[in-house]
Chain A
Amino acid sequence: MTEAKAVDAKRAGGKAVDTTRLARVAVTLGGLAAGYVLVVGLHRAEILINDYYLQILIWVGINVIMGVSLNLINGFTGQFSLGHAGFMAIGAYVAASMTKLMGMPFALSLAAGGIAAAAGGLVVGIPTLRLAGDYLAIATLGFGEIIRVIILNLDVVGGPRGLPGIPAHTTFLWVYVIAAATVVVVRNLIWSRQGRALVAIREDETAAETMGVDTTRSKIMAFVVGAFFAGVAGGLYAHKITFIDPSQFDFMKSIEALVIIVLGGLGSITGTVMAAFVVTFLPEILRAFADYRMIIYSLMLILMMLYRPRGLMGTAEFSFRQLGLGDRRPAPDKGGQRAGRSDGPPPVLETRGVCMDFGGLRAVSDFSMTLRQGELVGLIGPNGAGKTTVFNMLTGLAEATSGRVCFMGEDITRRRPSEINDMGVARTFQNIRLFSNLSVLDNVRIAFRGERLYSMTEALLRAGRYATQEEQIYGKSMEFLRLFGLDDRASEIAGKLPYGAQRRLEMARALATKPKLLLLDEPAAGMNPQETQELLELIRWIHERFDLTVLLIEHDMSLVMKLCQRIIVLDYGVTIADGAPAEIVKNRRVIEAYLGEEAV
């Protein structure tokens, strides 16, 4: 229905699409302004909101900024950070020193606080983001504490005595505007190509890497943006409370932000905003219980987690779509034609004497092969022969102990997976690694990042090339889905697709990164004969249609025999045969490897 409208709009001349866009911007800004007027109006008229509540609303706003910025790191990028208070402290101290000690204007000081915190995020992020999961959490916790101890030892800002007499610049208007801006910016980021890369990292870092996502850069970006807003929140905090000391930014402050995002739902901005209200108002309401306040608060926290372990909102969001306010998805671009590819000189991939040792075990030994442009080659061998290890070395997930891997004449032996993907190698995985909580469409959309797309600023402001390029990305992604018969399931959650469809989606996703070489790891595993037959035709077809070179690991011999022009056989990491299917079936060593010596 909405889609049809959008199509009509497009036909009407393209301008209408911009009108919906403008309408959405207008509604957003109008809604935000109305919200402000409502709160201030009620306050003036002394209905519902008295001075005390207005103060609490300011704290809510600060908590919204803290929560949303942490959710970008924890909820959307999946990087467990426990050091948010440290960034808040940097922002608070920098901003407060600037206004109090140097007499700088408030806005400038807030911005400086944010930038200082972002710089802190960069310094903390570069070393720590190599860690994962709980280790990252603990390292960020450590950094948060170290930042605090450094401030504790800085006499300029009062050390342990703190910094009193900060001008009370923070008003409801300031907090409201900045909180709204934070929400809009983070939301825009999430819905951009840069943001999709973040979510892909959360879902499956390895798969994201092999799809060309520069995971380190993306994670640091999320960390820096998150730290920036935490710094701004710190500045607002300092100019609200007017007295800061290091103990205010201890570990518990980070926990407070964490509680907000977990209670709201990791990966839901709407939930974060709601939880910021709950977490800020709850202790105030509990003031009536005096001494028992914190006991009740902690009990409620436990109970809320026991009954809503996924938070208030899960990952759901409030959106215009739910209000029926026009999904401006354009009609898929029918004309999206792949650029013609030069049929360069034959060898696409060459490996020379590649070895892989795991401890004392040589998983792959002296593996040499050449794949020529347009070849469709099978890589077979008994379980444990080292086939997947070969794939991992070709895609940068594992580094060869010795030997060289060259792709299009360039040495890629020590390149990172994302770089190798950028050069034109894509793969699928034996045990399907989709971004399973994302939609089918988003799984493919993540592929579109590289090629001179819109910038980060354009993404955050949804300006410039953002709209037109997002439309193109949508169009191209839908085209890929259509090729694999998945277009009618585009909005379904990838993890809930039937098995065969998941396999196809993984191939669609790999193809969307525009590879020259496609590596398929057991694509027929778990398929019935009917599905295998369809797969056979599908691979043949994409091989031709996309002018690909294909290397395929497979245990289904009939598939391999029918499909491949050439077969390489590995056994215990050693290449024991390499030739046309007809030769391979007769090869003595191959039969031995598969059936044992007696069978020969």
Chain B
Amino acid sequence: MVIQQLVNGLALGSVYALIALGYTMVYGIIRLINFAHGDIFMLGAYYGYFAITMFNIPFALALPLTMVLAAVTGMAVERLAYKPLRQAPRIASLITAIGVSLLLQNLGLKFFEARPRPYPRIMRTVVWDLGGVVVSNVQLIMLALAIALMVLISLIVYRTKIGKAMRAVSFDKDAARLMGIDADMVISITFALGSALAAAGGMLVGFYYNRISPTMGSMYGLKAFVAAVVGGIGIVPGAMLGGLIMGVAEVFVIAFVSSMLKDAIAFAILIVILLFKPAGLLGRAVREKV
């Protein structure tokens, strides 16, 4: 039973981790809690939905297509709504992000209809019983895809030139500029990568729970953000760790305590972690220099 729930938890957690990566990368680079990120995730789910149902695009093609579309959306949001506020007080960008979130959600409600939709089946669900632990092919695909994407993003951030530029901008935007890095471009790319991951997460959630709605972004977004903070915001492996913890904890609470408490557990973990590790699990507390 415990192992079974662990498997389910990891599947859910890998989705949180995918979304959390976007939060953490954006926060790392411009210190913005991008509240619209959860709605990009929602858009991703719908892009995928329409690609498959309306255009009959096979999943293997629909996924990258959706990710590209979401990346473009994310970049557009950044360009139009956040870039003009780069010199403004941080709270102004935060409110703008909330505005964008509301906008995307309401656009979704208007154009995708408010009713939840069943997600198209891309394959027959096959279930294997491994000595009492039931694993489905959807879970395996989900885990495998999520892990592959996380490895990919880690390689990009830590092994490529653009990744190095991202880390440089995150460390000190002005110094990075003086070194010839086009900070605006790097920020754009960060948004693109984060949004693409969120869109993949959106499609995976669609498959796994077989149900999407225009308001799904809020809760998933919030919990994924909490996951990013728990792991240590701005730190790529932290987001993955936080996401997995969130997923497992949530599934355990539903299975062993009460499904009514499932939304509280994320925040309870958050508060406990912050009280003992104020910068998150993998974060290092920086003392202000006097």
Contacts and interface: CB of A to CB of B under 8 A. Distances in A.
A320 interface: no
A229 interface: no
B99 A305 contact: yes
Interface in A291-315: 291-292, 294-295, 297-299, 301-302, 305-306, 309-310
Contacts of B267: 141-143, 145-146
B33 interface: yes
| Chain A interface, >50% SS class | helix
B275 interface: yes
B88 interface: yes
Contact of A258 (B27, B84, B95, B279): B95
A134 B27 CA distance: 10
A429 interface: yes
Interface string B242-276: 00000000000000001011011011101100110
B103 interface: yes
B169 interface: no
Interface in B74-133: 81, 84-85, 88-89, 91-96, 98-100, 102-103, 106-107, 109-110
Given A262-B91, A397-B290, A135 B271 contact: no
B271 A143 contact: yes
A145 B263 contact: yes
B278 A310 contact: no
B234 to A, nearest CB: 10
Interface centre among B81, B226, B271, B275 (most CB of A within 10 A): B271
Contacts of A310: 88-89, 92
A532 interface: no
Interface of B is mostly: helix
Given A127-B275, A142-B270, A145-B267, A299 B103 contact: yes
B260 A153 contact: yes
Contacts of A131: 274, 278
A135 B106 CA distance: 28
A255 B102 CA distance: 11
B92 A305 contact: yes
Chain A's interface size range is 35 or more
Contacts of A150: 264
Residue picked from B99, B274, B290, most chain A C-beta under 10 Å: B290
Contacts of A302: 81, 96, 99-100, 103
A401 interface: no
B264 A309 contact: no
A455 interface: no
A80 B91 CA distance: 9
A160 to B, nearest CB: 8
B271 to A, nearest CB: 5
Contacts of B27: 134
Interface in A418-474: 429
A139 B229 CA distance: 10
B9 to A, nearest CB: 19
B222 interface: yes
Given A128-B271, A139-B274, A295-B110, A146 B95 contact: no
Nearest to A132: B278
A130 interface: yes
Nearest to B269: A142
A468 B38 CA distance: 55
A138 B290 contact: no
A422 to B, nearest CB: 19
A392 interface: yes
Contact of A429 (B94, B261, B290): B290
A146 B262 CA distance: 11
B43 to A, nearest CB: 15
B268 to A, nearest CB: 6
Nearest to B27: A134
Contacts of B226: 138, 142
Contacts of A297: 102
B132 to A, nearest CB: 32
B103 A139 contact: no
Given A291-B110, A309-B85, A139 B95 contact: no
A401 to B, nearest CB: 14
B274 A135 contact: yes
B16 interface: no
Contacts of B288: 206
A542 interface: no
Interface string A59-85: 000000000000000000000100000
Given A139-B271, A302-B103, 7 more contacts: A131-B274, A135-B279, A142-B226, A149-B263, A299-B103, A306-B81, A306-B84
Interface of A: 80, 127-128, 130-131, 134-135, 137-139, 141-143, 145-146, 149-150, 152-153, 160, 206, 251, 255, 258-259, 262-263, 266, 291-292, 294-295, 297-299, 301-302, 305-306, 309-310, 388, 392, 397-398, 429
9 contacts: A128-B271, A134-B233, A138-B33, A142-B270, A153-B260, A262-B92, A301-B95, A302-B100, A429-B290
Interface of B: 27, 31, 33, 81, 84-85, 88-89, 91-96, 98-100, 102-103, 106-107, 109-110, 218, 222, 225-226, 229, 233, 258, 260-261, 263-264, 266-268, 270-271, 274-275, 278-279, 288, 290
- 10 shortest interchain CB distances as A-B pairs: A142-B267, A309-B88, A309-B92, A149-B264, A298-B102, A298-B103, A301-B99, A302-B99, A294-B106, A305-B96
